[in-house]
């Protein structure tokens, strides 16, 4: 948890600084690497300390990137700890230009299973954790008159489906929350980008039996940053999922409720 970013601010040499929540593996880890390689100083936040430390050490040992990543161990469901950790991170970084909320949890749920514990866990990680962190970023970006917020949602949030009711709910809730943030903050110069990844080669795929168009986390991270830098509001990653999303969103309910997707 040591502060690696000890360089004092220099007026004419502004730094770019980012925080990634849910950074220990998958898209989050790939985003940390991609941001660091673009010159950002990145605070990597996640629950699993060993993976996180290894990630940051790997980045800091890469030529030209010493001191570009630092690990912060944190469980996103400990909401009450977020304000303090957020303040510590922005102090360590000396500022903040970008935040990405990547933490996500998808429990395997059978089609006839209604398990509240699993459901609550998904809501807490996927939605409430995002709100706890992005609220913090929202107020400071609003005051700063600039900033970028990236929320990793999912194509799964487009419809409520038989296979994963509450995972869908958490992502649909996240979509609405991000849209509301965007509507609040665009007028203050802040961009909010909702990312809807299709199949990315991460642990979440273990529970997705029929996979295709799978891309690596590194590819996903590249496309996510590109979408954010182009100030996209909503971006499917890869883009072809946009077509799938459009079709799924438009399937009439009398058909959709007979399908098992």
Partner 1 sequence: MKSNDRVTTSKADSSAAVSQVSPSILPANNLELVESWGRASQGISHVYRPTTVDGLKDLFQLARETGSHVGLRGGGNSYGDAAMNDEHILIDLRRMNRILAWDPKSGVVTMEPGVTLAQLWQYTLEDGWWPPVVTGTMATTIGGCAGLNVHGKNAWQVGPIGDHITSFELLLASGELISCDRGNNSDLFHAAIGGFGVLGCFTSVTMQMKPVYSGLLEVQTESRANLAEMFSYFEENLESSDYIVGWIDAFASGTSLGRGDVHKANYLPQGADPYPNQTMRLDYQHLPDTILGLVPKSIIWMFMRPFMNNLGTRMVNTAKYNAGRLGGPKVGRQPHAAFHFLLDYVPNWKQAYGRGGLIQYQPFIPKENAQDAFADILKLCQQRGLPNYLTVFKRHRPDDFLMTHGMDGYSMAMDFRITDRNRSRVVSLTQELDEIVLAAKGRFYFAKDSTLHRETTELYLGQDATEKFRALKKQYDPDNLLQSNLWRRLFS
90 binds partner 1 (CB under 8 A): yes
State the alpha helices, DSSP H only, in the chain: 26-37, 49-61, 82-93, 116-122, 129-144, 165-185, 217-229, 241-250, 253-256
Query: Are 9 and 16 spatial neighbours (Cβ–Cβ below 8 Å)?
Result: no
Closest CA to 35 of 52, 59, 13: 59
Kindly tell me which residue out of 47, 107, 118, 140 binds partner 1, with binding defined by CB under 8 A. 140
206 binds partner 1 (CB under 8 A): no
**Cα–Cα distances in angstroms (integers) from residue 18 to residues 43, 69, 150, 155, in the given order:** 6, 10, 11, 25
Q: Which is nearer to partner 1, 90 or 227 (CB)?
A: 90
Q: Which stretch binds partner 1 (CB under 8 A): 2-10, 19-27, 45-53, 219-227?
A: 2-10
Q: Which is nearer to partner 1, 144 or 163 (CB)?
A: 144
Footprint (CB under 8 A) of partner 1, residues 93-112 = 94-95
Footprint (CB under 8 A) of partner 1, residues 143-162 = 143-145
Query: Are 151 and 194 spatial neighbours (Cβ–Cβ below 8 Å)?
Result: yes
139 binds partner 1 (CB under 8 A): yes
Peptide bond into 256 cis (omega under 30): no
12 binds partner 1 (CB under 8 A): yes
80 binds partner 1 (CB under 8 A): no
d(CA 73, CA 160): 33
Kindly tell me which residue out of 48, 66, 83, 203 binds partner 1, with binding defined by CB under 8 A. 83
Interface with partner 1 by CB under 8 A: which residues?
Answer: 1, 8-14, 83-85, 87-88, 90-91, 94-95, 136, 139-140, 143-145
């Amino acid at each position: 948890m040591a502060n690696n970013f000890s360089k004092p601010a220099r007026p004419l040499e502004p730094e770019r600084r980012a925080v990634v929540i849910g950074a220990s593996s998958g898209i989050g880890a790939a985003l940390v690497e991609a941001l660091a390689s673009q010159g950002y100083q990145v605070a990597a936040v996640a629950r699993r300390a060993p993976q996180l430390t290894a990630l940051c050490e790997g980045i800091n040992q890469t030529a030209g990137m010493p001191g570009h990543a630092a690990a912060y161990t944190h469980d996103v469901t400990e909401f009450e700890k977020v304000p303090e950790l957020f303040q510590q991170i922005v102090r360590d970084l000396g500022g903040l230009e970008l935040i990405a909320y990547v933490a996500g949890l998808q429990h395997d749920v059978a089609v006839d299973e209604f398990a509240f514990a699993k459901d609550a866990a998904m809501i807490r990680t996927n939605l409430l954790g995002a709100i706890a962190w992005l609220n913090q970023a929202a107020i400071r970006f609003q005051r700063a008159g600039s900033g970028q917020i990236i929320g990793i949602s999912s194509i799964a949030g487009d419809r409520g489906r038989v296979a994963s009711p509450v995972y869908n709910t958490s992502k649909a809730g996240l979509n609405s929350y991000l849209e509301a943030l965007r509507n609040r903050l665009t007028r203050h110069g802040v961009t909010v980008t909702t990312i809807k990844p299709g199949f990315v080669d991460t642990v979440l795929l273990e529970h997705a039996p029929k996979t295709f168009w799978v891309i690596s986390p590194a590819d996903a991270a590249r496309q996510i940053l590109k979408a954010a830098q182009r100030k996209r509001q909503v971006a499917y990653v890869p883009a072809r999922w946009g077509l799938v999303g459009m079709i799924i969103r438009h399937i009439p309910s009398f058909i959709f409720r007979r399908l098992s997707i």
